Structure 1
Amino acid sequence: MVREDGKRNFVMREEDGTESSVFSGSMPRQAALKAARRLEPAGSEEEAKSNATEIRLREKGTDKVHIFDAWAWSDEAPDDKPGWMEGDITKGNVSKQGIKHLEE
């Protein structure tokens, strides 16, 4: 279901079918990137990509489950960072694996 601002809500779905956190985005990948940043970060992008985690996001109001491989890593904050930002930041990336439809 699309909100007035054009964004859609996606809920994180576990293997056992339980659903937890909600992420919003205009596209499924945008929500998946937000979810990926919550993963435990690795030391480098290469190390993180080799240990990718599967995440499943169900679009609220539909039976579509978007499946992604996700990974996160720590990186230094840019030189022009705002004063409140810490020295290290977490970056994330995802690779879409497909869509499944629930049969519930």
Structure 2
Amino acid sequence: MVREDGKRNFALRSSNGEEESVFSGNTPRQAALKAARRLEPGSSGDEADRTELRLREKGTDKVHIYDGWAWEETAPDDKPDWMPNEITEANVSKKGIDHLDE
């Protein structure tokens, strides 16, 4: 279901089918990036553990499947005062789409 502002809601599904959290975004990738930032960060993007993220688009039977990973990085020099010195960066790679039979 698309909201007035164009954003859609995506529920993060665990391996047993429970939906733990909801992330919103204009695209499934945007929601997957938000979910990936909550993963345990590695020391760098190359060394971070890949985790499968399954996001069901609310109002449909589509499940978008991504590999996601996160890492710690030093904040830029021109960061605002409220930003911590270490920030979490994330990336995702799409694996495909499943359709629920429920």
Give me the TM-score of the superposition, normalised by structure 1.
Answer: 0.97
Count of residues paired in the alignment: 102
Per the alignment, residue 53 of structure 1 pairs with 51
Deviation, 1:97, is 0.1
1:26 is matched by which residue type in structure 2? N
Deviation, 1:86, is 0.6
Deviation, 1:31, is 0.3
Per the alignment, residue 73 of structure 2 pairs with 75
Deviation, 1:57, is 0.2
Per the alignment, residue 36 of structure 2 pairs with 36
Pairing 1:26–2:29 present: no
Alignment RMSD (CA, Å):
0.4
Identity of aligned residues (%): 71
In structure 1, the gaps of 5 or more residues are none
Pairing 1:94–2:92 present: yes
In structure 2, the gaps of 5 or more residues are none
Per the alignment, residue 17 of structure 1 pairs with 17
CA distance in 1, matches of 2:44, 2:76: 16
Question: Structure 1 or 2: larger helix share?
Answer: 1
CA distance in 2, matches of 1:80, 1:35: 26
Structure 1 outlier segments of 4+, above 4 Å: none
